[in-house]
Amino acid sequence: MTGLFVSGAAAQVVPPLPPLPLDATLNQLGAANAINSALPATPAPAAGFALLQSLPAPQLTGALDQLAGGIGADLGTIADQANTPLLNALMQRLGSGGGLLPLPGAEGASQSFPPAFAPWASALGGHSNISGDTASGAEHVSAGVAGFAAGLETRVGDSAILGASVAVGHESSSAGTGGKSKSNDITVALYGREGFGPAYVAGAIAYGWHDVTTLRIVTVSGTDDLEGKFTGEDLSGRIEAGWRFVMPDRAVIAPFLAFGGDRFAAPAYGERAVSGASDFALTYASNTITNEHVEAGLHLARDFGASDEVLSLGADAAWAHQLSGPPVIEAAFAALSGSDFLVRGLQPAKDTALMGVGLQLQGGGGLSYGVRGDGQFGDGITAYSGTLNLVYRF
């Protein structure tokens, strides 16, 4: 087809763009095809597009990486990674995901408390690195999050917990050749747990608002800083079921199965030039990106100390399997009518190892505090998160 490129081979090519190499990525091909399709119908294209014609293949593919706007397709994966510290903090409150399984007043616990209200506060943080994909052209992403959460929970009988929380946070990320994002977030959540003898079911659901700013730095014709702004929403959660085996010496072992997911929704939005020209500004169609996974693993916990001051040690190990495919969204060059193309983003590896360890010190007067660290490791992904918490039970 005239003016188009085909993955894996150079097709019949006419100006305006020279042929791409055989190993061009899908994102490079998508941007090139969109330009070639739209330029014939654009009598006076923006000056920046004329410069692409003279670039040799290595420089052209590098330019197309910048033009493809991959950061827009990665925002759902970034949000999913950013929600991990909060969900870990909520599951730790339930005595499951934190590995701190013996609940005060429940079977196997070292102390007995009456039903109580417990306000708590927690500092949250995390960082992840996800490698790029050479076939799709999705670029390496490095993302971090820091925030603060507070909540209130109540015991219901000897085996149930119900709670609610609110969290504020800030996310930032960088992707490949000049893509960046930042987000100020507010998240509200509900969580709970019910025991059935040695069995338990625990879950958390969170709804978040994200004030997102993206930035692409394009250096085809000078330096153009292209900014996008929108308010996104996401729904995330986790449900876990396990079986507690109470062991000698105040220890607990609990195998478990879990399902977790995140659904990130972004409205249609466009970029503007905050510096330089807007020749290569993109518009993005509204999109919803879903990340879902299942887990199978083991919680270990043990209490140490006397009745008036107890240190609980917990550790977790699990295998996680990703259910969702890589995100794909639709973009177009604002200066070229009919230049729609697909942008492919990143996802974590299909199979990863999850590891965590936590300490919780229960002192006199109902005050307790703790620390927890978690990690996710797999082919092309390394992620760490941590929480510090303070609880007062009355």
Secondary structure letter of residue 346 according to DSSP: -
Mean pLDDT of all residues belonging to the chain: 87
Question: Cα separation of 353 and 367, whole Å?
Answer: 33
Collapsing DSSP states into helix, strand and coil, what is residue 70? coil
Burial bucket for residue 58 (CB in 10 Å: 0-12, 13-18, 19+): exposed
- What's the confidence (pLDDT) of residue 14? 32
Please give the helix or strand (H or E) that residue 147 lies within, else none. Answer: strand 141-156
Let me know: does 61 contact 27? Beta carbons within 8 Å: no
Q: What mean pLDDT comes out for the span 132-147?
A: 93
Digit-coded pLDDT (tens) for 354-370: 999 988 888 777 788 88
Let me know: does 130 contact 346? Beta carbons within 8 Å: yes
Closest CA to 108 of 235, 246, 278, 237: 246
What is the CB neighbour count within 10 angstroms for residue 287?
21
- What's the confidence (pLDDT) of residue 16? 64
- What's the confidence (pLDDT) of residue 306? 65
- Range of weakest confidence among 20-34, 77-91, 101-115, 346-360: 101-115
Q: What mean pLDDT comes out for the span 29-37?
A: 93
Handedness of CA 19, 24, 28, 33 (dihedral sign): positive
Helix axes 26-38, 57-67, angle to 10 degrees: 90
Collapsing DSSP states into helix, strand and coil, what is residue 93? helix
Digit-coded pLDDT (tens) for 301-320: 888 876 678 888 889 999 99
Question: Which token pair is 116?
Answer: 């109580």
Backbone angles phi, psi at 327, to 5 degrees: -70, 145
Q: Which residue type is seen at 104? A: P
Query: What percent of the chain has pLDDT above 90?
Result: 62
Q: What mean pLDDT comes out for the span 192-211?
A: 93
Collapsing DSSP states into helix, strand and coil, what is residue 74? helix
Q: What share of the chain is helix, strand, coil (3-state, %, to 5)?
A: 15, 55, 30
Let me know: does 344 contact 73? Beta carbons within 8 Å: yes
Burial bucket for residue 257 (CB in 10 Å: 0-12, 13-18, 19+): middle
Burial bucket for residue 32 (CB in 10 Å: 0-12, 13-18, 19+): buried
Question: Which token pair is 335?
Answer: 């200066």
Question: Which token pair is 311?
Answer: 């240190």
Question: Which token pair is 133?
Answer: 């994909």
Residues in the chain: 394
Q: Which residue type is seen at 310? A: V
The secondary structure of 320-376 as a DSSP string is EEE-S---EEEEEETTSTT--EEEE-----SEEEEEEEEEEEE-GGGEEEEEEEEEE
Q: What mean pLDDT comes out for the span 94-108?
A: 46
Q: What mean pLDDT comes out for the span 151-161?
A: 86
What is the CB neighbour count within 10 angstroms for residue 14?
10
Contacts of 330 (CB under 8 A, 6+ apart): 284, 285, 287, 340, 341, 342, 343
Query: What percent of the chain has pLDDT above 70?
Result: 90
Question: Cα separation of 351 and 294, whole Å?
Answer: 10
Let me know: does 180 contact 173? Beta carbons within 8 Å: yes
